[in-house]
Amino acid sequence: MRTPARTPAGRRLAGIAGIAGITALLVLLSACSPPTPGPQATGGTVRIAINPWVGYEAGAAVLSRLLEQELGYRVQKVELNEAQSWEGIEKGTVDVIVENWGREAEKKTYIEERKVAVAAGRNGNRGVIGWYVPQWMVERYPDITDWRKLNKYADLFKTQKSGNFGQLLDGDPSYVTNDEALVRNLGLKYKVVYAGSEKALISAAKLATERRTPLLMYFYEPQWLFTQLKLAKINLPPYAIGCDADPKKVACDYPPYLLDKIVSRRFADGGGRAYELVRNFSWSNDNQNAVADDITNHGMSADEAAQKWIEANKIVWKDWLPD
């Protein structure tokens, strides 16, 4: 059966009714559908690796608070060691490494060869790794900071775990360390013993200072502990470019580290304002130590310590924010 032709007025009425119907349908659909996500430049989730030392946690906490409060992002913190963080970048579970200590092998693999990671500039911290003794030991044994004299003092550092050798106490086995190679290649009568964590290293340093017991330990800066007690650094053979190229043959001190940030290539390409903030983030050892000290010694959570620092240091972080 044919439909009767409409008059011009009828066609206008039908058109109006049709537009009204479409408009109502669009309103209904928009009410029932989930909101369309905004562009990545104004929101989304940023996944930050959290490595196992409080200084790193301090930097990540400040960056996280700024991403959330100033730019409206969500932050997911992923607890991993250093090597796992690089693997997470490749797997897509990590966007940002806030504090990278060298890791030249990973840079070659993930940045140069696989091209899944990107260096995002220095984070401002100057890193130092080395061997330390409590200050009281230098006062009693003035030449103990000369690595060539360490064998003379090996008996002082013997423990149940080191047996007939002096103990060199290291931290978490996942940390950057050449210590076993150094002991072997320098002909030192010592054994590397792993305390297991930064917290254990700090406890050992405090105890050795308070009780004036011998301690030779791997340690590093920036670290809030240096604001509370004195440790003296052992003078290992001076670092020269390339002296640590072969990990098995290392016989020199650790290099100075200008710590940097690493991000996934996906994040660098599509992270928008979040990536700009991460790229601009740069603070000092003193800044980091202040936040780390509040976390460790003043009963604050990482978020609370970060917020305290943010409220007191807008002059530092305001320039990190993207335009």
Pair 117, 96: CB distance under 8 Å: no
Tens-place pLDDT, residues 55-90 = 999 999 999 999 999 999 999 999 999 999 999 999
Report the percent of the chain where pLDDT is more than 90. Answer: 85
Q: Does residue 17 form part of some domain?
A: no
CA–CA gap between residue 150 and residue 250 (Å, rounded)? 18
* Same domain, residue pair 64 and 213: no
In this prediction, residue 176 has a pLDDT band, given cuts at 50, 70 and 90, of confident
Q: pTM for this one?
A: 0.80
* Same domain, residue pair 191 and 276: no
CA–CA gap between residue 146 and residue 308 (Å, rounded)? 41
Q: Tell me, what's the pLDDT at 135?
A: 97
Report the percent of the chain where pLDDT is more than 70. Answer: 87
Tens-place pLDDT, residues 274-311 = 999 999 999 999 999 999 999 999 999 999 999 999 99
- Provide the domain limits for residue 120: 40-126+258-320
CATH number at residue 229: 3.40.190.100
Tens-place pLDDT, residues 177-222 = 999 999 999 999 999 999 999 999 999 999 999 999 999 999 999 9
* Same domain, residue pair 181 and 151: yes
* Same domain, residue pair 56 and 131: no
Q: Does residue 56 form part of some domain?
A: yes
* Same domain, residue pair 153 and 137: yes
CA–CA gap between residue 32 and residue 98 (Å, rounded)? 40
Q: Tell me, what's the pLDDT at 106?
A: 96
CA–CA gap between residue 281 and residue 59 (Å, rounded)? 9
